[in-house]
Amino acid sequence: MSDSGGAGGSVFPSNWSSLLSFITSSRRNANHNANHNTNHKKKISTTKSQSAVDQAPLPSLYNSEADKDKLILLGNGMSQPSRAVMWFLEVNRIPYEFRLVRIMKGQHLSDQYATINPMRKVPVIIDHGDVVFESHTILRYLSQKYNTPDHWYPRSDLLKRTRIDSYLDWHHLGFRKAVVAYIFAKSLGRPYDAKAVARTAKEVQKAMDILNDVWLMNGKKYLMGEEVSIADLSCVCELMQLRMVDSDLGNRPQLQAYVERMAAWPGFEKVHKLFFQFVKMKKLDDYYYQHHDHDDIKKAKL
C-alpha cells in the first residue's frame, strides 16, 4: 500500500485536524532535502562527540535526598516511549513530576545521565528512589505498583497478560524499528538516499498492514479486544511519530478507526500537544542539522 494512499478524512477527531495540517505544511520535499547534501559531510570521532556532550551545561535531573519521596519521569515529548509512559500516568491520575531530558543537546548521552540509566535512553522513572527504565517495563511496573484497573495489564489473568506481552515484544522490532529507520531516512539522512526512503517506507507499510489485519482483526476495538491495555498506548504513540514525515494510515479503515478511538482517550491531547508544536516550530530536519553533526544524529535515540 502506498504511503500517500490515505483514506479520506482526518486520522484524528476534528479538533486535531489543524495540528495535522500544520505538520504537513512544515515538511520539505525530497528534492529540497537533496540540495543540502554538501553541507553536512563533516565527521567527528565518537570521543570528540561524547566530550562535547559531557561538557554541555545541563541541569541536574535528580537529587537523591530532595526527590526521595517523589515519582519522577525523565523523558522528552519527542520520544514516543516517553509519551506512552506519560499517557499512562495521566490517564490513571498517578501523581508524578516530569523532568525534561534534553535529547537535542545530548543530555541522555552524558556521564551524569548514565548514573541514572546506563543505557542512556529515555524514558526513566525514579519511584521514591527506585530506578526503572525501558518503557514497556515501566508500564508493567506502574500498572502493578499503583493498582490501576486490571484491563491495563491484568494481575489475575496470565493469558491476557501474556497476549499483551506478545504485542509489546513484537512492537520493538516489528514496528518501532521500521518507524525510526523511515523517519531518519526521509527526514534526517544526509545525503538524501531515495532507495533507503523507499526501503524503509515499505517496512512501515508492512508493519501497518500487520496492525490492521492481525492485531486489529475481526473488528477489535483495541489490540487485545474490547478493553484498552498498555499495548495500545505504545502502539498509538508510535503511530503518531509518523506525523513527523507526513505519513498517513493509508487505506486501512480498521487502523484509522482505532487511532480515532484512542485519540479520544483522556491524556492524549496533553501528551501530544508539545510534540506537534515542536514539529511545527522547529522543522525537525533543519533543527537537527543546526545543532548536531551527522554522527551525533545517528546515535540519538528518539
If one counts the domains in the chain, the total is 2
Backbone angles phi, psi at 194, to 5 degrees: -60, -35
Q: How many CB atoms lie within 10 A of CB 244?
A: 24
Whether this prediction's pTM lies above 0.85 is answered by no
Q: Which domain CATH number covers 87?
A: 3.40.30.10
Do 174 and 261 lie in one domain? The reply is yes
Do 171 and 129 lie in one domain? The reply is no
Do 159 and 129 lie in one domain? The reply is no
Low-confidence ranges of the chain (pLDDT < 70): 1-59, 281-302
Do 200 and 254 lie in one domain? The reply is yes
Positive or negative: CA dihedral 21, 22, 25, 28: negative
- Convert the pLDDT of each residue in 12-26 to its tens digit: 333 334 334 433 343
Q: Which domain holds residue 239?
A: 153-266
Residue at 298 is within a domain: no
Looking at residue 41, its pLDDT comes to 40
Do 136 and 78 lie in one domain? The reply is yes
CA distances, 111 to each of 54, 55, 82 (Å): 6, 10, 21
**Single residue among 95, 114, 148 that ends a domain in this structure:** 148
33 residue type, one letter: N
CA distances, 231 to each of 3, 107, 211, 239, 294 (Å): 24, 28, 12, 13, 33
Do 157 and 244 lie in one domain? The reply is yes
Residue at 167 is within a domain: yes
C-alpha cell recorded at residue 19: 495540528
Looking at residue 58, its pLDDT comes to 61
Do 98 and 167 lie in one domain? The reply is no
Backbone angles phi, psi at 262, to 5 degrees: -70, -35
Which runs of consecutive H residues, i.e. helices, occur in the chain? Answer: 17-26, 30-34, 46-55, 80-91, 111-114, 135-145, 158-170, 177-183, 194-210, 230-241, 253-263, 268-282, 284-291, 294-299
Looking at residue 282, its pLDDT comes to 54
